[in-house]
Amino acid sequence: MKIFIASDHNGHHLRKQIVENLKEYEFVSSTLEEGSTDDYPLFAFDVCKKMNKEEDYAVLICGTGIGISIAANKVKGVRCAKVNNIDEVVLAKQHNHANAIAFSAKTSLYDAISYINALVNTATDDSERHVRRVSEIIKYEEGAYNEL
């Protein structure tokens, strides 16, 4: 299991702090060049395309966390939740089988670390209703439900 991590210029410092403080995980950072005019979608695409959707996770940071989460969800197989608290991380993993989270660059290091630990350590809820709903999302990505 690896954690793919990326941020635009807004989240640069928080991303570096996370990697420096969470030594128990193997982080893979985006290889795109950063700068004051970089674009968050490209960072989301870069790491989300590279991750193994069944084994790995992505952690994404931009000014609000919203834009980068929208971009991440365009990559087939990614279920990214924009999170603001630990409860949202836990529920996203349990109910939606999230394999990626996004948050604001204004998130504290303490909260960011707790979000990542929750993402990795929370089990998915495999009860029928959650599996059915996640399966519907996967089927849509594969072209089903186009008649809706």
Render pLDDT for 43-89 as a digit per residue (tens, 0 to 9).
999 999 999 999 999 999 999 999 999 999 999 999 999 999 999 99
d(CA 12, CA 35): 10
Full-model pTM? 0.95
d(CA 72, CA 58): 9
Q: Is residue 58 part of a domain?
A: yes
Question: Annotated catalytic sites, by residue?
Answer: 62, 95
Can you read off the two tokens belonging to residue 54?
A: 């069944």
Cβ of 77: how many Cβ atoms within 10 Å? 14
d(CA 123, CA 101): 15
Residue 34's pLDDT band (cuts 50, 70, 90): confident
Average of per-residue pLDDT values in the chain: 95
> Residue ranges of the alpha helices (H) in the chain?
12-21, 40-50, 66-72, 86-96, 109-121, 128-141
Q: Is residue 119 part of a domain?
A: yes
Q: State the CATH number of the domain containing residue 134.
A: 3.40.1400.10
Q: Is residue 147 part of a domain?
A: no
Query: What pLDDT does residue 148 have?
Result: 60
Q: Is residue 50 part of a domain?
A: yes
pLDDT at 22 over 90: yes
Q: Is residue 148 part of a domain?
A: no
Q: Is residue 146 part of a domain?
A: no
Domains identified in the chain, total number: 1
SS3 category, 136: helix
Query: What pLDDT does residue 134 have?
Result: 96
Q: Which domain holds residue 28?
A: 3-141
Of 76, 6, 18, the residue nearest 44 (C-alpha): 6
